[in-house]
Amino acid sequence: MSVATHPEHGVRIATNAPIPTWFGIGGRAERFAAPRSHEELLDCVRIDPSLRILGDGANLLVDDQGVPELVVSLKTPAWERVHIDARTGRVVAGAGVSLPRLIKSTIDAGLSGLEGLGGIPATIGGALVMNAGGRFGQIGDVVQSVRGVDRTGLDAVRDRREIPFEYRKSGLGAMIVTEAEFLLAPANTEKLRAFHREVMAYKAESQPLNADSAGCVFKNPTLHADVEGIGPKGARVSAGMLIDRAGCKGMAEGGASVSERHGNFIVTSRGCSAASVITLMDRVAARVLDTFGIRIEPEIVIWRREP
Ligand SMILES: Cc1cc2nc3c(=O)[nH]c(=O)nc-3n(C[C@H](O)[C@H](O)[C@H](O)COP(=O)(O)OP(=O)(O)OC[C@H]3O[C@@H](n4cnc5c(N)ncnc54)[C@H](O)[C@@H]3O)c2cc1C
C-alpha cells in the first residue's frame, strides 16, 4: 500500500489498500480515501462518482479480487461529531459515528430510542442504509432526517417520510450519507441501562459474537405460500430457523462454516477466501430451497468487480 495526495485534488489516496471488514477477509481497494472535510469528500466524488462508502464493514463481504472503485471511509473526525440535546431529545450524529458509542451516549443523557439496537456493530451511515435492527426495533423508527451528498456532489436532505425504510432496507444506498438527526424520548437512565444489558445478554446468548462474521447472512424470507410446519402465506420467518432445520449447521467450505450457535451466521477463519463464503452461502440457500421450497436472499452486501 502507498499513500499520496491526488495530483488535481487535495485528498490523500491510498493505493492497493486493505478494506477492513468484520469478516476479516476479502480483496483490496485499488484506491482508498478517508476524507477529512466536506471539500475532500467532494474531491472524492469528483475523482470517482461511482465510489463505494465503507462504514464499519460489519455487513460487508469483499470479493477476493477487490474493487476498482474509490473506497471512501467516513470514520474520520469530520463525520464523528455528535450533538445531544437532552432537553428536546434532538440528537445529531455524523455518518462515521459508531452506533454502539451513540447508544451509550444517549443512554447516559437519559434518552430512549436507540438502546434496543445494542450489540449491532455499525457506523450511523451503515446502520441507516441497512435500516439496522432486530427484535427490539430498527434505526428507521427514530430517525428524523438524513443529510448527505449525491453522486454529482450536490447536498441532499431527506426527511424520514421520504425514506422508504423497510426490513433491512432504506433506499438510501445511492446517497452518500454524512449526517442524521434523531428524535429520542426522555427516560430514566438506570432503566435504559438495565434494558440495554438485557439486549446485550440476549445477543451474547444467541450469536457467536467472538467469531469473525457479518451478522446474519440471509434476510428472513416472507412466505409466498403456506408451508407446512413453517408458517402461513405472508408470514416472515426466521432464516436461521430454516437453515438449522434444513440441517446446515456446521456445513463448511474452505475456512468458512455455518455457526453452530446461530444458523444464519457464517464464521470465517484466517486465510479463508471470500469465494468460500459465497460458495457456502449458495450451498445453504440451495439446501433450504430443496428442503422447504423457500428461497432465501443475502442480507450481507457483497462488493465485487463488475464483469
Ligand atoms: C456480530 C454482528 C452482529 C450483527 N447483528 C445485527 C443485527 O442484530 N441487526 C442488523 O440489522 N444487523 C446486524 N449486523 C450487521 C451490521 O451490523 C449492520 O448491517 C450494520 O448496519 C452495518 O453497518 P456498517 O457501518 O458496518 O456498514 P458496512 O457494512 O460498512 O456497509 C453496509 C452498506 O452500507 C453502505 N454504507 C455504509 N455507510 C454509508 C454511508 N455513510 N453512505 C452511504 N452508504 C453507506 C455500504 O456502501 C454498504 O453498501 C451484525 C453484524 C455483526 C458482525
122 lines ligand 1 (CB under 6 A): yes
86 and 190 in one domain?
Answer: yes
- pLDDT tier for residue 307 given thresholds of 50, 70 and 90: confident
* Residue 162 known to be catalytic: no
* Residue range(s) defining the domain that contains residue 28: 2-73
By percentage, how much of the chain surpasses pLDDT 70? Answer: 100
Average pLDDT over residues 96-112: 98
DSSP result, the chain: -EEEE-SSSS-EEEEEEE---TT----EEEEEE--SSHHHHHHHHHH-TT-EEESSSTTEEE-TT-EEEEEEE--SGGG--EEEETTTTEEEEETTSBHHHHHHHHHHTTEESSGGGTT---BHHHHHHHT-EETTEEGGGTEEEEEEE-TTS-EEEEEGGGS--BTTB-S-TTSEEEEEEEE-EE--HHHHHHHHHHHHHHHHHHS-TTSB--SBSBPPPBPSS-BTTTB-TT-B--HHHHHHHTT-TT-EETTEEE-SS-TTBEEE-TT--HHHHHHHHHHHHHHHHHHHS----B-SEEE----
216 classed as catalytic: yes
Residue from 36, 46, 90, 168 carrying the catalytic annotation = 168
Give the confidence band of 3 by pLDDT, cuts at 50, 70, 90.
confident
Question: What pLDDT score does 151 carry?
Answer: 95
With 90 as the cut, is the pLDDT of residue 85 above it? yes
| Phi, psi torsion values for 54, nearest 5 degrees | -100, 130
Among 47, 73, 99, give the residue marking a domain's end: 73
Mean pLDDT over 169-191 rounds to 96
Q: What pTM did the predictor assign? A: 0.96
Sequence-distant (6+) residues with CB within 8 A of 126 are 55, 56, 58, 59, 132
d(CA 146, CA 155): 11
Q: Is the CB of 98 within 6 Å of ligand 1?
A: no
Are 172 and 262 part of one and the same domain? no
What's the 98 CA to ligand 1 centre distance in angstroms?
A: 11
Q: Which atom of ligand 1 is least distant from the CA of 79?
A: 41
**Domain end among 182, 204, 226:** 204
Domain check: are 172 and 283 in the same one? Answer: no
Identify the band that residue 271 occupies on the pLDDT scale cut at 50, 70 and 90: confident
Q: Is the CB of 58 under 6 A from ligand 1?
A: yes
pLDDT of residue 179: 98
pLDDT of res. 196: 97
160 is catalytic: no
Mean of the pLDDT values across residues 45-69?
A: 97
User: What is the model's pLDDT at position 1?
Assistant: 82
pLDDT of residue 9: 81
Quick check: CB of 209 below 6 Å from ligand 1? yes
CATH for 24: 3.30.43.10
From the CB of 134, is ligand 1 less than 6 Å away? yes
Instruction: Give the pLDDT of residue 99.
Output: 98
